[in-house]
Copies of this chain bind each other. A is one copy, B any other.
Amino acid sequence: MEKTLRRKGDAVTIHQVAHHAGVSPMTVSRVMNGNSNVREATREIVMRAVRELNYTPNPAARSLAAAQGTRIALIYTNPSAAYLSELLVGALDGASRTAAQLVLDTWANVTPAAERTAARKLASSVAGVILPPPLCESKAITSELIAAGIPVVAVASGRFRANLSCVRIDDFRASQEMTAHLLEMGHTRIGFIKGHPNQTASARRYEGFHAALQEAGIALDPALVQQGYFTYRSGLEATEKLLSRKRPPTAIFASNDDMAAAAISVAHRRGLDVPRDLSVVGFDDTPTATTIWPELTTIRQPIAAMAESSIELLLRSIRRKDGETKVVVDHVVAHQLIKRDSVAEPPKSSA
């Protein structure tokens, strides 16, 4: 019937919007890209037409015309599966909403020596990079990428560094709040399992713990602080050490959920009930937190949302090439203390 030449059918094009608004396609394009030099009145007319027709730019045409691939790389090493899957879900959601192409790569077995080369190679094939820890801590990688002129976002890094955009939570304050929660419940001997030393977030979390104790006027007992590496295994060992003491802690604050899960496992093996005999808290609110029993009190870090934000940040940075103004942002998102079943008041006997 129709002159259905090649079009599939439904999609609204920029021409239809332009016609509807009584302007040229070019103007619509400018409005859509928030570019420049469009009179406010015109912009509004166009926006209304866009809304009425429910127009979405065709990503294929856009990237073809702009000759500006929107490939965004997400590089990971070997985070816990739970962490990775949330990261991926978020990134993928963001990518499909913004019509960016997400490419994945693992640098699990890239030696530090090879990092610069890998980064250079990466820079030539993508338009932006998302770096979760611990990669975002590597000066070699980030400086190489930035030198190549492609935007980089560090997601869930512990601190903000100049030149490097960053989407993260306030690890320090989160940790402080968690510690305060344990103190409120009556705990005074709190064991702490640190995170991997090569990640800035680890230090922040420890500092928050320290600060909260100090605020409560409690001296930090160095023997109650154990080094961990964010792995289940390291949590096992750290907990063993903590619980082998003459006066073991009544609560354990692990720097992530995996290590907290390990702490619970060790407690059980020793015949301790959680939370009656020992309270345990974690950090991140990964799926493990609700998989195990009892469910973990932990800090919710909205990884998926953070990954999505990162994509948006990158795209904005990639698409804006007019102003040439490199904007480096430090986007701190809200965390949340989630109380579940792994915390109780300390046992009377140990008071």
Q: Return chain B residues, CB-CB under 8 Å to A268.
A: 265, 268-269
Which parts of A196-234 form the interface with B (CB within 8 Å)? 231-233
Q: Return chain B residues, CB-CB under 8 Å to A6.
A: 67
Q: Return chain B residues, CB-CB under 8 Å to A146.
A: none
Q: Return chain B residues, CB-CB under 8 Å to A58.
A: 64
Which 9 A-B pairs rank lowest in CB-CB distance, beginning with the nearest?
Answer: A85-B85, A81-B287, A81-B82, A60-B64, A88-B88, A268-B269, A96-B103, A60-B63, A60-B60
Whether B293 pairs with A7 at a CB distance below 8 angstroms is no
Main DSSP-derived SS at the A contact region: helix
Whether A232 pairs with B292 at a CB distance below 8 angstroms is yes
Given A64-B64, A293-B232: A89 and B88 interface contact (C-beta under 8 Å): yes
Q: A60-B61, A233-B293 are in contact. List 20 more A-B contacts (CB 8 A).
A: A8-B68, A59-B60, A60-B60, A60-B69, A81-B286, A81-B287, A82-B85, A88-B88, A88-B89, A92-B92, A93-B104, A96-B103, A101-B101, A102-B102, A232-B291, A232-B293, A258-B291, A265-B268, A265-B292, A268-B268
Proximity string of chain A (292-317) to chain B, C-beta cutoff 8 Å, 1 when within and 0 when not: 11000000000000000000000000
Proximity string of chain A (47-81) to chain B, C-beta cutoff 8 Å, 1 when within and 0 when not: 00000000000111111100111000000000011
Taking Cβ atoms with an 8 Å cutoff, the residues of A that contact B are 6-8, 58-64, 67-69, 80-82, 84-86, 88-89, 92-93, 96, 99, 101-104, 231-233, 236, 258, 265, 268-269, 271, 286-288, 291-293
Q: Looking at the complex, which one of B61, B231, B287 makes contact with A80 (CB distance below 8 Å)?
A: B287
Q: Return chain B residues, CB-CB under 8 Å to A286.
A: 81
A269 to B269: give the CA distance in the assembly, Å. Answer: 5
A86 to B85: give the CA distance in the assembly, Å. Answer: 8
Q: Return chain B residues, CB-CB under 8 Å to A88.
A: 85, 88-89, 92
**Distance (whole angstroms) from the CB of A2 to the closest CB of chain B:** 14
A46 to B13: give the CA distance in the assembly, Å. Answer: 35
**Distance (whole angstroms) from the CB of A322 to the closest CB of chain B:** 16
Whether B67 pairs with A7 at a CB distance below 8 angstroms is yes
Q: How many copies does the complex hold?
A: 2
Nearest to A85 among chain B residues (CB) is: B85
A250 to B342: give the CA distance in the assembly, Å. Answer: 31
Q: Looking at the complex, which one of B61, B80, B96, B265 makes contact with A102 (CB distance below 8 Å)?
A: B96
Q: With a 10 A CB-CB cut-off, give which of A8, A81, A268 has the most chain B CB atoms.
A: A81
Whether A80 pairs with B232 at a CB distance below 8 angstroms is no
**Distance (whole angstroms) from the CB of A287 to the closest CB of chain B:** 4
Q: Return chain B residues, CB-CB under 8 Å to A99.
A: 101
Nearest to A125 among chain B residues (CB) is: B10
Whether B8 pairs with A67 at a CB distance below 8 angstroms is yes
